[in-house]
Amino acid sequence: MLLPVQVIQTKRDGGQLSPEEIQAFVDGVAKDTWSEGQVAAMAMAIFLRGMQRDEIVTLTRAMLHSGDVMRWQGASALPGPVLDKHSTGGVGDKVSLMLAPIIAVCGGVVPMVSGRGLGHTGGTLDKLEAIPGYRIDPPPEQLLRVLREVGCAIVGASARIAPADRRLYATRDVTGTVESIPLITASILSKKLSAGLQSLVIDVKVGNGAFAASLEMARALATSLVQVAQAAGLPTEALLTDMNQTLGWTAGNALELQETLDFLDGTAREPRLLEVTLQLAARMLRLAGLAVDDRAAYAAAQAALDSGRAAERFARMVAALDGPADVFAAGRALPAAPVQRDFAAPRSGVLAAMNTRAIGHAVVALGGGRRRAGDVLDARVGFSHCRPLGTVVQAGDALLRIHAASDADADEVAATLLRSITIADAAPAEQPVIVEAITG
């Protein structure tokens, strides 16, 4: 029997862990036979010493099999290939909400297991919970029925999915080891592999509002995710996408949901948000064999959106998961903040830069994100009408609109925004929203 201290010492001293040692670690985490101190010591050893690619593959598989793995074959097989997308998180990133129904229209099946907000980044589940009645934790029989009848279901992970990751992540969060690329890779992929996918596309955000602030770190993370997923037998590609400004015109749960509804029904589509959505959709469809190449896949995704079929599919998903029968009608009555105030440009010039991370934290400060795990969110608050970088403004022009629960909250956030947005005399260099593709 391997003692925890022996496994920790191997990695602490820079050694490569054997499959047996990695399995012992994951078993200890999942079965609670390793103490919190031992789990923390192992996480720090991996953070400092790193892991080889085959170690990360073994760790991912062990974490995957610490819980349930969904199987879709047999009499209740789904009507198309099972595929998904994962985002590393950003400010205003509501792509999952429109992407899942687009893919379903095009013949894919998307059992999208999503998460809540983390730090300054918003969570897909938090946005969906702004819909009255929407069920993020359906029983297995309801989930299967929705997938068979609608083709997509955006839900939360059950406690039976990769339980080793649940405990390990909680430890990493309080021990300064979140940024470990091997541990991030195993965390993300163990949960995605548990969904029984046939292909996966990963959106790795890069920029001042992203977990990966530098291109080098984003590229390293995307490469690790793609190569480990492929080694585990899951065809995977990644896109690096820009997060040096909010994605779309809104940040905040009900506001982003309203933007999603407007996007799907064609009322308004912010160009950068549209391009990220369609580019991810194109790669998902091509990887799954639902289109011959990216150009054909992009056109199919665009047609699913423009025809209104993606909007119809989203509405069916919401109704099937116990939300309103007509979410588009219900969406016109989403909760609204009592204080709505335009934030004005302090001078004339060009909107040259924004501290996107600070803007995400401002949403949290308004009550739209969590400072502690048990915090209750205020779905009403956040920002709308966000102007993109490069916009020419006059002093006093609105740069965005603050949605707050009180005047005091709006005043506090306005002071933060004043420090977070730069107006300059010259336009910034144009940054494409699709930075790079990683295919392994």
148 included as an active-site residue = no
CB 242 within 8 A of CB 206: yes
Catalytic, out of 61, 86, 357, 387: 86
187 included as an active-site residue = yes
Sheet (strand 199-206) strand order: 83-87, 199-206, 236-242, 434-438
205 included as an active-site residue = no
Nearest C-alpha neighbor of 66 from the set 31, 103, 32: 31
Distance, CA of 296 to CA of 293 (rounded, Å): 6
CB 130 within 8 A of CB 253: yes
Distance, CA of 196 to CA of 113 (rounded, Å): 11
87: which strand partners?
Answer: 203
Catalytic, out of 11, 61, 85, 387: 85
236 included as an active-site residue = no
172 included as an active-site residue = yes
Give the number of other CB atoms < 10 A from CB of residue 130.
20
Say how far residue 339 (Cα) sits from the centre of its chain.
29
Distance, CA of 225 to CA of 243 (rounded, Å): 19
Distance, CA of 131 to CA of 68 (rounded, Å): 28
DSSP 3-state assignment of 74? coil
158 included as an active-site residue = no
Catalytic, out of 10, 187, 260, 420: 187
Residue burial 21-59, b: 16+ Cβ < 10 Å; e: rest: bbbbbbbbbbeeebeeebbbbbbbbbbebebeeebbbbb
94 included as an active-site residue = no
Catalytic, out of 84, 242, 262, 378: 84
Catalytic, out of 120, 127, 191, 401: 191
Give the number of other CB atoms < 10 A from CB of residue 440.
15
84 included as an active-site residue = yes
Catalytic, out of 10, 58, 66, 87: 87
- DSSP for 229-286 reads HHHTT--EEEEEEE-SS-SSS-BSHHHHHHHHHHHHTTS---HHHHHHHHHHHHHHHH
- Sign of the dihedral through C-alpha 379, 381, 387, 389: negative
Catalytic, out of 172, 219, 313, 357: 172
CA distances from 186 to 58, 226, 320, 367, 425 (A): 9, 11, 32, 31, 45
192 included as an active-site residue = yes
Task: Please give the positions annotated as active site.
Answer: 84-87, 124, 172, 187, 191-192
